């Protein structure tokens, strides 16, 4: 049986447009949403409707919540529990200063008693769907403390844990320690997913064989929305993909972004996408600079058309990887 692949929750990236683009290549097993602010969700801001869009495959969507107040988080979780989705995920891993400062994200890991009380309350609120938590190693690289924390989450009723094995201060400065994912998996009876430093389809397949119950990819899936299909092809579970037309993929993403996002989000989210997608190009920095001067789809497509006219060797890339990772 193949190990499930997840799309990571990424601010301004894991929205309907990216999910649909990935799904058009064959998709993944679960899509985690951008993190949803519990207070904003309850305030019923009109823009929240875009965050709540559960397409393109509702039964694969996991809503991720972030917040600092137990009561507000519980009410938001109960609200999401009434929607059509795969599950509700609690963010205990975000280390952005503005999130930690208010007592949200990875802050909970430094306050285990409060965290366990919160998880117990959310477990009671989430009655119809899977309830999961995404976290980091914590404030330092202390495996015993991490395992104790994860066991506490399991005791309070969490169904799945996703571990990004970096500390709260490391950002991307140090490689993710996947051995920690393996050790947490050994210590728990619930499923454990791993996340961090997945750069291509071969790594995705390799990590799927390291003993975890699922593998989550983030930035690599923005650079290569076909990564999950490519990985399944490596495993021998689907036919190889045709060569990828990068201009067509970029234009399709912008089309989906126009369709599913409010106009005021278009420019910032397009540029966030190209920050990673342009890594496919020889002159990535130059193209990003030119794209950064544009605010409309037509202008962005024109930049890419001009680039490929001068660098036609960059336009098509092979999605076929030599070698075999076939499942038994």
pLDDT for 322: 52
The mean predicted confidence, pLDDT, of the chain is 95
pLDDT for 321: 66
Q: What is the pTM of this model?
A: 0.95
Contact 64, 89 (CB under 8 A): yes
User: What are the extents of the domains in the chain?
Assistant: 5-234, 244-314
Closest CA to 169 of 139, 193, 202: 139
Residue 144's pLDDT band, with cuts at 50, 70 and 90, is: very high
pLDDT for 324: 47
In angstroms, the CA 204 to CA 209 distance is 9
DSSP secondary structure string, 6-25? EEPP-TTTSSHHHHHHHHHT
Average pLDDT (272-289) is 98
Residue 275 reports pLDDT greater than 80:
yes
Average pLDDT (280-295) is 98
Average pLDDT (141-161) is 97
Q: Which residues contact 99 (CB under 8 A, 6 or more apart)?
A: 66, 105, 106, 107
Domain 5-234: give its CATH code: 3.20.20.70
């Amino acid at each position: 049986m193949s190990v499930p692949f997840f799309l990571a929750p990424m601010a301004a990236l894991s929205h309907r447009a990216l999910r649909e683009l990935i799904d058009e290549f064959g998709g993944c097993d679960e899509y985690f949403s951008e993190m949803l602010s519990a207070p904003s969700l309850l305030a019923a801001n009109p823009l929240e409707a875009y965050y709540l869009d559960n397409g393109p495959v509702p039964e694969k969507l996991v809503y991720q919540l972030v917040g600092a107040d137990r009561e507000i988080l519980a009410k938001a979780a109960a609200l999401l529990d009434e929607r059509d989705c795969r599950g509700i995920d609690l963010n205990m891993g975000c280390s952005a200063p503005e999130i930690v400062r208010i007592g949200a994200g990875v802050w909970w890991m430094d306050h285990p008693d409060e965290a366990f009380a919160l998880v117990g309350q959310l477990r009671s609120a989430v009655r119809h769907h899977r309830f999961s938590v995404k976290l980091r190693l914590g404030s330092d690289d202390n495996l015993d403390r991490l395992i104790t924390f994860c066991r506490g989450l399991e005791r309070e009723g969490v169904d799945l844990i996703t571990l990004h094995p970096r500390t709260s201060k490391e950002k991307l400065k140090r490689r993710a320690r996947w051995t920690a994912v393996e050790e947490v998996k050994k210590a728990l009876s619930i499923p454990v997913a791993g996340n961090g430093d997945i750069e291509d389809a071969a790594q995705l397949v390799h990590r799927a064989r390291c003993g975890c119950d699922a593998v989550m990819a983030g930035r690599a899936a923005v650079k290569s929305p076909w990564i999950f299909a490519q990985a399944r092809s490596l495993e021998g579970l689907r036919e190889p993909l045709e060569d990828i037309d990068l201009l067509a993929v970029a234009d399709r993403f912008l089309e989906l972004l126009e369709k599913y996002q409010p106009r005021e989000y278009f420019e910032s989210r397009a540029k966030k996408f190209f920050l990673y997608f342009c890594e496919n190009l020889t002159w990535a920095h130059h193209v990003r600079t030119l794209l950064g001067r544009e605010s409309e789809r037509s202008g962005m497509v024109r930049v890419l058309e001009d680039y490929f006219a001068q660098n036609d060797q960059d336009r098509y890339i092979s999605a076929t990887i030599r070698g075999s990772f076939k499942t038994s």
